[in-house]
Amino acid sequence: MSELLRRLLFLPRQASTLASRVDDIHFFIILTTFVVGAGIGLTGFVFLLRYRRRQAHALTPHIEAPAWLEGLYISVPLAFFLLWGALGYRDYVWARTPPADALDVYVMGKQWMWKFAYPDGPGEVGVLHVPAGRPVRVLITSRDVIHSFYVPAFRLKMDALPGRYTETWFEAVRPGRYPVLCAEYCGVDHSRMRAEVVVLAPEAFEAWRARHKTQPAPGPGQVPELAMGVGARGPLAEQGRVVATRMGCFQCHTVDGTPHIGPTWRGLYLRDEPLASGGHIRADVAYLTESMMDPQAKLVAGFEPVMPSFQGRLSAADVAALVEYIQSLRPERPVPPAAQEP
Ligand code: CUA
């Protein structure tokens, strides 16, 4: 029955323990609404025929409904609606209470990508590896605006808010790849802010994790941000340095604060740069990304237009890593508070 409804409603296959609970309530609500709605519609239709005006000037006799009937048609739908509330509350509490043995994973949304990290190091952009059959607690935050972490196959959705952590959890039931979407409009590339959850069999997951372990788990009281590279600019920034080396960025960009063929990366992030075409631009994430793809579009004044486009040569993960690396290169002197990122 529920499998039939799932197909009728074009819902993805249930891939978490939460999914069947959410769907069961969903279907129950649809069915009861349908039954109540059909009952009201059919009654209306019968009355329409039965009491239609047959002769001119004829009046329908006054009808008095007995109290028990009135009580019945109020209390039956009410009982169903209260049952929705009760079932919904039961599953809400369940869905908001991560089991104590859950694996922690950090999720960070930023325009327009998802970053994932485990406390002991492995950090990824756009792909989250998790084991099947084991609860995973998800701590979610945002670097810029409000996003919403949404995994349709898990029936899981939680807002990502800048400046605070939200929490949810899931237990994937079978290995596979499941899309992650952003469910909160967050800017021009909102519709492309996608990622993927890769659910691995437990042994495969352990093997994956062992391969990617980079640092010891943070001790109690340590900010999870450290592991995500938000505060301390961890593994992702390091990866960015590797990408920059591979792509030859350092032939033109220094990291010691002295301009070379191109602007120095030291302190570049959020710096106001004069443009060759006049005016200024703030070197935010969008500008840094655009400069890699179309360097001459907003050329910084005083430099020759010699940088090639890296469109198609850098993956989204490479771009994220490079931007993270550039952000990690703080200016020698602290920037005034107004210019610092929130
Ligand atoms: Cu992020 Cu929409």
Above 50 in pLDDT, residue 230?
A: no
Contact 199, 206 (CB under 8 A): no
Mean pLDDT of 45-56: 85
- Closest-CA residue to 235 (of 142, 118, 123): 123
* Tally of CA atoms within 13 A in the half-sphere of 245 that contains its CB: 6
Q: Which two tokens stand for residue 289?
A: 């990304």
- Which of 88-102, 103-117, 142-156, 320-334 is predicted with the least confidence, judged by mean pLDDT? 320-334
Contact 233, 226 (CB under 8 A): no
Closest atom, ligand 1, to C-alpha of 183:
2
Above 70 in pLDDT, residue 267?
A: yes
Equal fold, 103-222 vs 235-339: no
Above 60 in pLDDT, residue 222?
A: no
| pTM confidence score | 0.58
ipTM > 0.95 (yes/no): yes
Above 90 in pLDDT, residue 86?
A: yes
Closest atom, ligand 1, to C-alpha of 187:
2
CA-CA-CA-CA torsion for 188, 167, 315, 192, nearest 10 degrees?
-30
What is the Cα–Cα distance from 122 to 187, expressed in whole angstroms?
A: 28
Above 70 in pLDDT, residue 231?
A: no
* Per-residue confidence (pLDDT) for residue 162, from 0 to 100: 82
Q: Read off the pLDDT band of 135 (50, 70, 90).
A: very high
Q: Which two tokens stand for residue 279?
A: 């005016």
Share of the chain above pLDDT 90, in %: 30
* Per-residue confidence (pLDDT) for residue 172, from 0 to 100: 93
Beta bridge partners of 164: none
Residue nearest to ligand 1 atom 1, measured at CA: 147
In the block, residue with structure tokens 């978490």: 16
What is the Cα–Cα distance from 299 to 291, expressed in whole angstroms?
A: 8
- Which of 11-15, 24-28, 100-104, 320-324 is predicted with the least confidence, judged by mean pLDDT? 320-324
Above 80 in pLDDT, residue 153?
A: yes
CATH topology of domain 235-339: Cytochrome Bc1 Complex; Chain D, domain 2 (1.10.760)
Lining ligand 1 with CB less than 6 A are 109, 112, 147, 182, 184-186, 190, 193
Q: What separation in Å is there between the alpha carbon of 185 and the centre of ligand 1?
A: 5
Share of the chain above pLDDT 70, in %: 88
Which of the listed ranges 140-144, 198-202, 238-242, 297-301 does the model predict with the highest average pLDDT?
198-202
- Which of 116-125, 212-221, 249-258, 287-296 is predicted with the least confidence, judged by mean pLDDT? 212-221
* Per-residue confidence (pLDDT) for residue 10, from 0 to 100: 87
* Per-residue confidence (pLDDT) for residue 228, from 0 to 100: 42
CATH topology of domain 103-222: Immunoglobulin-like (2.60.40)
Domain boundaries, the chain: 2-53+64-95, 103-222, 235-339
Q: What separation in Å is there between the alpha carbon of 190 and the centre of ligand 1?
A: 4
Q: What separation in Å is there between the alpha carbon of 189 and the centre of ligand 1?
A: 8
Q: Which helix (H) or strand (E) holds 65?
A: none
Q: Read off the pLDDT band of 235 (50, 70, 90).
A: low
Q: Which two tokens stand for residue 26?
A: 């969903």
* Per-residue confidence (pLDDT) for residue 182, from 0 to 100: 95
In the block, residue with structure tokens 């769907």: 23
Beta bridge partners of 106: 117, 139
Closest atom, ligand 1, to C-alpha of 193:
1
Q: Which two tokens stand for residue 299?
A: 């050329």
